[in-house]
């Protein structure tokens, strides 16, 4: 098992071009708010997990004028377009991270009290997924395990 230290998935210019293309194909346009959200995730890099509220707070702290409702809509759109990945928490909340094609089979340790999230890779977990797919005649697309616990700071 290996803890991950990841870098951003793509350059800002490359992501901006791909995002614009995807938005235009779907009849949407690149708004300053969408660009701000994606820029924030690119700045913090892959492996950082933010809630919608944390995204909003960071953008407001940067003097950006964007509503929390716009943040929610933008996060959903960026997940649909595969720029972000969503980690759904048991309490009904979600955290978002920059999508990283090099680490699609990573897993999460999540503190049920404070929401702290750490990533790890495990060949054993991936192999268990492969074995289950073979047993039930599935094709493996991706593998993700969420382990819930209580971190040292919350105990």
CB 24 within 8 A of CB 47: no
CB 6 within 8 A of CB 36: no
| Predicted pLDDT of residue 31 | 82
Q: Domain boundaries in the chain? A: 11-101, 104-155
Per-residue pLDDT 10s for the chain (155 aa) are: 433 433 333 444 455 556 556 666 666 777 888 889 989 988 987 778 899 999 999 999 999 999 999 999 999 998 888 788 888 877 778 889 887 766 666 788 888 888 888 888 888 988 999 999 999 999 988 777 888 899 999 99
| Predicted pLDDT of residue 22 | 62
Q: Under CATH, which architecture does the 11-101 domain have?
A: Orthogonal Bundle (1.10)
CATH of domain 104-155: 3.30.1490.190
| Predicted pLDDT of residue 32 | 86
């Amino acid at each position: 098992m290996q803890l991950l230290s990841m870098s951003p998935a793509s350059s800002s210019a490359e992501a901006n071009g791909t995002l614009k293309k995807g938005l235009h194909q779907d009849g949407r346009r690149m708004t300053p708010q969408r660009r701000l959200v994606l820029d924030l995730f690119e700045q913090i890099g892959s492996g950082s997990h933010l809630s919608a509220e944390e995204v909003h707070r960071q953008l407001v702290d940067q003097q950006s004028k964007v509503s929390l409702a716009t943040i929610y809509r933008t996060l959903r759109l960026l997940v649909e377009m595969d720029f972000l990945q969503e980690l759904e928490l048991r309490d009904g909340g979600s955290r978002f991270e920059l999508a990283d094609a090099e680490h699609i089979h990573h897993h999460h340790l999540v503190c049920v009290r404070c929401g702290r999230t750490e990533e790890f890779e495990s060949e054993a977990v991936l192999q268990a997924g492969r074995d289950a797919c073979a047993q039930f005649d599935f094709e493996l697309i991706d593998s993700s395990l969420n382990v819930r616990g209580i971190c040292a700071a919350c105990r």
